[in-house]
Structure 1
């Protein structure tokens, strides 16, 4: 397969969802859109009485999407019952670079990630049967041969009014990220890709339109919906871009993520989240990234075939819960070398892509380490269906390997091992 180094760099940067803030969210009539965290049931009515439009309610009204003038933040803050507010922003990423199906070899070390965490051996004990994993992303391709376990009836799309997007959570070739994430978590292996939980049910939740970015109020609605339909796991391979400065920690976006994630966890849904691809130290200088800096998120950094933290993954003590394969090596140069045991592009993650965009792809990023953990959480829920999210996370951390303790700045409790985890529960 002939893929140039520049192409692979772009693939990692784009497909890894190092999201870029593309601007403030604005209604079609030009009004500004705000994310409001409410403290009390009457905040909505008070905002309406103050002349604002409340166009979306999330988590039983704990988060509100509000429209008003562009200079209205202080006025909204002054409404009784408003806990936090900030302008909503849109985030977007480039269309991933994918390999054509004809260029993908029929044999070779394709799913090294599955074998590295011993998911193939774990499937003798658990496969995710009777569980569900929600993919909060760009949707899932309903026609993919390895994704026949999609629950189309539960699929849903949250996008701005008037934006173009498939209904019911279906992905499109112009996006594709969610389809790739879904294959890692729950590919059935009917044709080529075996996910960590091949018999789980995949719930497609689309929060990106075909063109333009996703609003955070829609992302919040997607997470909330996953919990409302009883998903065992909600995978969130999206987030605020980069390593943010401490002062950004005060706004409504951080408050909204924390509120929605905690609400989902209280209702029994494990939320797995990618650590981000800025290669940043989240421990030093007070910087943070979202959502992995929120306690309710089970944050996942990315490793390569040699179990080292890859060059793009964020890290930091008390910020990373566990690690999982995300593709690439610890340096950019090694990732694109041709003399390693897994030469480029085979050290990336081989997974599903929309049928109209090649069907399969090599791809990389913490976006693809998080669904490894989501699939493992489904295996845990199959074996221990009454376990709460904290217990699921504890089982995954206990089965992880390579480090002592749970606070390694790069790997948290360690790189996950599916076989260890299910054996601990099955013994």
Structure 2
């Protein structure tokens, strides 16, 4: 491939401009072509303003452009693969959220249901690094200050990943909140949270930003990536990033979606390399709002979950987003005890150690999904019998 000719073409296309707001992800059919091109692009971006608009995405061997795919057809002659850089929304909360002030320290129902407290004498998630790709986090929240570590703001690289929405703070609280004097406690209170801000104040992100978030997590040695969001459309670029993370030993836990669909779930939960999570209500039944299918690996508490909210507050929210973070916390407890487990092994343990939902409680599309009537689905994984979960 003539990388110099491709760079000249790319510079011309960027100079011509295109439809405002349209974005495209560009990959290469041959991995070697992508590697060579990205090396050349890195050297040329510093000398030309136009090329700086092309953002390298090394985890997939490609880049993103602020141009519509229709204007990039000439790139196909160079072995490029084009994909619309779609907008993704964090899952909406159901029902309407209830805001509350901090109260006395307590253990939320979901944390109790998955029996996390029974595991804390042996593991609290210590030394496990969790990347939360979301809206950022409230760095000043008293329930989270102990857990927060280095992160990144993909929307404004010079700024900290502050949460201007609230969703990311809520997710982080479920995973690792801890406030002994006043506040709440999460599933794995000594887990390190690395906030990756890919979503804006409206809860919107581009697929390319999510992929860059995965790339950052892989590069910085993150153990688990929490993805409490989803989209109905399959993205081959996102799949490639998920597979790269899996190969690097990084587990991705993702939410199935809140549309109440049967037989189909959101992506990236729909990819085989992720842990796909559905939501349970307080009765231990599959929540009405959750998407469900045999592709779901596990169900966890997701209805009316109390957790941290910006400005030192708490909020009750429902959704598969909340269920996903319970599972992430449970995996952190396991990894702190057995740090050498691979993503595939962890997924197998989750499915085998979960208690199957009874057929009288399981809605169509849920049977045989390796579900759990107990939170996080892992009575043995995070309860008294943690030694029997198959991790030894």
Task: Provide closer, same or farther for how the CA distance between residues 88 and 185 of structure 1 changes in structure 2, counting only shifts above 3 A.
Answer: same
Q: Contact 1:325–1:372 at 8 Å: present in 2 too?
A: yes
Q: How does 1:311-322 map to 2 (within 5 A)?
A: 311-317=288-294, 319-322=295-298
Residues 70-101 of structure 1: CA deviation (Å, up to 9, x unaligned): 6225434x243324x22212234699765443
Q: Contact 2:302–2:318 at 8 Å: present in 1 too?
A: yes
Which 4+ stretches in 1 moved above 6 angstroms? Answer: 46-49, 51-54
Residues 25-71 of structure 1: CA deviation (Å, up to 9, x unaligned): xx99837320123332424739979x987622224452421243562
Deviation, 1:158, is 0.8
Q: Contact 2:132–2:226 at 8 Å: present in 1 too?
A: yes
**Matches of 1:364 and 1:410, distance apart in 2:** 23
Bigger CA drift: 202-211 or 365-374? 202-211
Q: Contact 1:73–1:87 at 8 Å: present in 2 too?
A: no
Task: Provide closer, same or farther for how the CA distance between residues 105 and 157 of structure 1 changes in structure 2, counting only shifts above 3 A.
Answer: closer
1:185 matches 2:175: yes
1:385 matches 2:385: no
**Matches of 2:174 and 2:367, distance apart in 1:** 22
Task: Provide closer, same or farther for how the CA distance between residues 390 and 98 of structure 1 changes in structure 2, counting only shifts above 3 A.
Answer: same
Task: Provide closer, same or farther for how the CA distance between residues 412 and 421 of structure 1 changes in structure 2, counting only shifts above 3 A.
Answer: farther
Aligned to 1:214: 205
What count of residue pairs does the alignment treat as equivalent?
A: 351
Aligned to 1:57: 56
Q: Which runs of 5+ in 2 are unaligned?
A: 1-16, 45-49
Q: Which runs of 5+ in 1 are unaligned?
A: 1-26, 328-347
Aligned to 1:86: 83
Aligned to 1:323: 299
Aligned to 1:148: 145
Deviation, 1:105, is 6.4
**Matches of 1:95 and 1:311, distance apart in 2:** 14
Deviation, 1:394, is 1.8
Q: Contact 1:55–1:65 at 8 Å: present in 2 too?
A: yes
1:260 matches 2:241: yes
Deviation, 1:124, is 1.9
Q: How does 1:361-376 map to 2 (within 5 A)?
A: 361-376=315-330
Q: Could you tell me the TM-score, scaled by structure 2's length?
A: 0.80
Secondary structure of the corresponding residue to residue 54 of structure 2: strand
**Matches of 1:28 and 1:68, distance apart in 2:** 5
Secondary structure of the corresponding residue to residue 160 of structure 2: helix
Aligned to 2:23: 33
**Matches of 1:146 and 1:262, distance apart in 2:** 34
Task: Provide closer, same or farther for how the CA distance between residues 69 and 183 of structure 1 changes in structure 2, counting only shifts above 3 A.
Answer: closer
Q: Contact 1:53–1:66 at 8 Å: present in 2 too?
A: no
